[in-house]
Every structure is written in structure tokens, then in C-alpha cells.
Amino acid sequence: MLLQLKNVEVERDGKKIVQFANIAVKKGEIHGLVGLNGAGKSTLAYAIMGIIPISSGSIIYRGEDISHLSITERARKGITMAWQEPARFEGITVRKYLEISRKKKEDSIEEALELVTLEPKKYLNRELGEGLSGGERKRIELAAVYLMRPELAILDEPDSGIDMMSIYDIIGLIKTINSKGSTVLMITHRDEMSEIADRNTLMCNGTPAITDTPIKVSRIFREMCRNCDEHDFEKKGGC
Ligand SMILES: Nc1ncnc2c1ncn2[C@@H]1O[C@H](COP(=O)(O)OP(=O)(O)OP(=O)(O)O)[C@@H](O)[C@H]1O
Ligand SMILES: [Mg+2]
């Protein structure tokens, strides 16, 4: 296993947002994380990246407990994350941002932009600030993840803000990132995206309820989440 969450609990403002979180991500797989709005998917992603602390349990990466390491230390170990809402860097060009992200000299930043269907000539000298649309920033961030060649890429809704016509380009990029050696933990609401995963985990009310094939998880998602009794869920500590 590349990543193992063992009974992870995350609190925010004194409220348990994530609890009983046990997930195992295999090296080399695309692992989807699905669930309703507010299920705790982003919170769990932040906790893995070290952006917010966990209140109990442990995060094991390559057999080592990284629960108390800083974001930078986790990044050095090869973990990277693309946010649901990409950051707005001011005063830095797309070219510079991609150059900083690039791990291997042989990777071309022009090619990375083409993979996210942005014309390099049009974008390389533009600034990463307000002038770019949400979808453009999202694509540039994904191009940066591609260039980083991370060991574990956590992608929080890489499809959000991406128009329907381009969704298959983004799916293609995720497959490319994976085929170049990155394990991918991908949060998504779209079936087209979760279908490409090797395995999916369904999050319900802060707890990963099941990990299985995309087909099984999607069926359980539809059946279980529609009929979920939240009160009963809390009593049982899971679905
Ligand atoms: N700082 C905070 N203080 C209190 N509650 C919070 C805080 N951050 C998140 N929450 C709550 O935690 C729950 C989980 O939020 P989270 O963003 O992890 O959900 P999500 O599964 O990523 O949802 P979405 O699909 O909408 O992105 C939500 O109910 C949210 O309101
Ligand atoms: Mg989220």
C-alpha cells in the first residue's frame, strides 16, 4: 500500500467532520473518492496533505507515519494536491509557474499545456491572476501536477469548472499522469471520471463506507445515499 488511513478523525471548530476513516490506496492505482456535498472529501484530502491536522488516528505513507509532518515535508515525500478552488497567484506568469513545477527537464511545458487543451502561444506569457477564467486556472494547475511527476497526486474535483466538451481531455490527462508513475487519489462527482478509477471509495457523512469497483460503488451510492438515515448512520458509526 502506498497510503493507509487508520481510523483518522478530523475536527473543525470542535465538530467532527471526518471519523472512522480507513482507506488504503494501492501504489499505481487511480483511486476515486465519491460522495455527496459536505461528506468530508475535501477535508480528508487537506488532512492527507497536512493542510489541516488530524485529531486522532494515523496517516501511513510508504509504511511511515506521516501524521505529524508539515505540508512541505509531505510534499518532499512526493505528495501533491490540486485544490478544488485553485489558488490565484499574482505576478507570476504561466510559464514561470510551470517551470517551477517541472521536475524533469525533458518534460515540455508546451506539451503540458497542450494536454489540457490550452494553446501555449496564447497562455505562456499571461499572468496567473484574475484575468484567467476558473476553468483555465484549473487546467493550468493540472498541467503543473503533470509536470511535478508526484508519487501521489491528490486531485480535488479536477473536473469542476471544466466544460462538458473538455471533460475527456481532463480524463486523458489523469490517465497520462497515472501512466507516468503517479498514484492518483481523485475526488469527483462525475460518473465519467469515477468510471476510470481502479477502485472507488464512497464517503458518507464523514466516513468512508465502502471501497470497491466503480460499478459497485456507483450502484451503492445511488441506492444507499438516497435512502440514508443520517440519525441511524451516526448511531451505527457507519452505513
Ligand atoms: N472550517 C470549518 N468549520 C466548520 N465546518 C467545516 C469547516 N470546513 C468544512 N466544514 C464542514 O465539513 C463538512 C465537509 O466539508 P468538505 O468540504 O470536506 O465536504 P466535501 O465532501 O468536499 O463536499 P463538496 O462535494 O461539496 O466539495 C461540511 O459540512 C462543511 O460545512
Ligand atoms: Mg469538496
CATH number reported for the structural domain that contains residue 186 in this entry:
3.40.50.300
Tens of pLDDT, residues 177-207: 999 999 999 999 999 999 999 999 999 999 9
Ligand 1 contact via 41 beta carbon (within 6 Å):
yes
User: Does residue 108 lie within any of the structural domains?
Assistant: yes
pLDDT, average across residues 56-85: 94
The distance in angstroms from the start CA to the end CA of the chain is: 25
Give yes or no for residue 79 having a pLDDT over 90: yes
Which pTM does this prediction carry? 0.93
The rounded mean pLDDT for the chain is 91
Q: In the structure, what pLDDT confidence band is assigned to residue 232 with cuts at 50, 70 and 90?
A: low
The number of the ligand nearest the C-alpha atom of 18 reads 1
**Domain containing residue 84:** 29-52+68-236
Residue 103 burial (C-beta neighbours within 10 Å; 0-12, 13-18, 19+): exposed
Overall number of domains in the chain: 1
User: Does residue 14 lie within any of the structural domains?
Assistant: no
User: Does residue 100 lie within any of the structural domains?
Assistant: yes
How far does residue 64's CA lie from ligand 2's centre (Å)?
27
User: Does residue 57 lie within any of the structural domains?
Assistant: no
Residue nearest to atom 2 of ligand 1 (CA): 12
Pair 77, 37: CB distance under 8 Å: no
d(CA 8, CA 76): 22
Return the best residue to mutate from 9, 16, 33, 42 for the ligand 1 pocket (most ligand atoms within 8 A of CB).
42
User: Does residue 148 lie within any of the structural domains?
Assistant: yes
Q: In the structure, what pLDDT confidence band is assigned to residue 239 with cuts at 50, 70 and 90?
A: low
pLDDT, average across residues 123-149: 90
User: Does residue 152 lie within any of the structural domains?
Assistant: yes
d(CA 151, CA 80): 8
Predicted pLDDT of residue 206: 96
